[in-house]
Chains A and B, each alone.
Chain A
Amino acid sequence: MEIPYTVDTRADTGLNNVKLGIWLFLASEVMLFGGLFSSYVLLRVGAEPGTWPQGAEILSVPLATFNTVVLISSSMTMVMAWASLKLRDLFKYRLYMGATVALALIFLIVKVFEYADKFSHQLYPSESTFLGIYFLITGLHGLHIVGGVVVNSYFLLPGVKMWHTAPERFTNRIEAAGLYWHFVDLVWIFLFPVLYLL
C-alpha cells in the first residue's frame, strides 16, 4: 500500500499531507518566536526605567527599512513563482524563484553588514540585555532565512527535475516552501517595528 494523500487531497479534510504538515510546523514556529517575543516583553517591562534604549538610538532604521522592503518583495516573488508553476510556465518560475533567492541574499548581506558594524563598535550581545535579545531574535530569524535560501536554491537548481516527472507534487512542494518563506517574512514584519522603532 502506498501512503495516500501525498499529492491528492483527502475528501473530508480537504488537505494533502504536505500542506497540513507545513502549517503544523509553522504553528510550532509561532510558539518559538512567541517565546522570544514574550522574553523581550518581560525583559523590557522588568528593566529599570531609563535603562532600556530606544531601538533607533543603537540600530540603523534606514538599513532595516531597506531590508523590510527587500523581504516583502521576496515574499511577493515567491508567491509569483508558485503561481507561474500553476500556469505551467517554467521559465517564469525560474525567474521568480531566482529573484526570491537573490533578494534573500541581499537581506543577509545587509544583516552581516549591520552585525559587523555593531561588533566594530564593541556592541556585543553581552553589552546590554537589549543588544542580547536583538542579536538572538534577529540571529535566529537570520538562520531561518539561511534555511529558506538553502531550500529555495535546491528547488531552483537540482530539485527542478521533479517538475518534469511529477509536476503537481513539485508545485505542492513549492507552495509549502512558499508558506515557510511568507512566515519568515511575517516574523520580520513584527520584528522590525518592535526592535528598531520602539
Chain B
Amino acid sequence: MSMDSAEDIKKHVTVYIMVFVALMVLTVITVSVASLSLAIPLAFALALVIATVKGSLVASCFMHLVSEKSPIYWTLMLTAVFFVALMFLPLLTMLDGIAR
C-alpha cells in the first residue's frame, strides 16, 4: 500500500465515491422494504441480505479487503466460521428440544 502512486489513489477515490452512493441507495431500500410488512422470516432474510451487501461494500472497498494479504483472509474466514457457529448452534439446541 505504501507504494501506491497518486493515480492509484485517485482511482481509489472514485471507487469510494461510487460505494458511498451505493450505500445511500441501499439504505433507502432497507427502510422502504421494511415498510412493506412482509412475513417475519422473509423480512429477516431480506434485511440481512441487504445488510450483507452493504457490509461487503464497506469491507471490500473502504477497508481494502479486496486487495488484502492471505493471513488476514484466513483469520477472517476462520472468524466467519466461528461466528456462524455461534449464531446457529445455540439456536439449533433450542429448536430440537426434548420437550417439543
Instruction: Decide yes or no whether A112 CB sits under 8 A from chain B.
Output: no
Contacts of A186 in B (CB 8 A): 55, 58-59
Instruction: Decide yes or no whether A65 CB sits under 8 A from chain B.
Output: yes
Within 8 A of B (CB), among A1-27: 7, 9, 13-15, 19-20, 23-24, 27
In angstroms, Cα B24 to Cα A83, docked, is 21
B58 touches A185 (CB 8 A): yes
In angstroms, Cα B69 to Cα A15, docked, is 7
Chain A contact residue count (CB 8 A cutoff): 52
Partner of B54, one of A46, A179, A189: A189
Instruction: Decide yes or no whether A35 CB sits under 8 A from chain B.
Output: yes
A193 touches B50 (CB 8 A): yes
Instruction: Decide yes or no whether A58 CB sits under 8 A from chain B.
Output: no
B79 touches A72 (CB 8 A): no
B87 touches A37 (CB 8 A): yes
A179 touches B63 (CB 8 A): yes
Q: Smallest CB-CB separation from A68: which chain B residue?
A: B27
Instruction: Decide yes or no whether B1 CB sits under 8 A from chain A.
Output: yes
> Can you spell out 8 A-B residue pairs with CB atoms less than 8 angstroms apart?
A20-B71, A20-B72, A38-B90, A168-B2, A171-B2, A182-B62, A197-B31, A198-B47
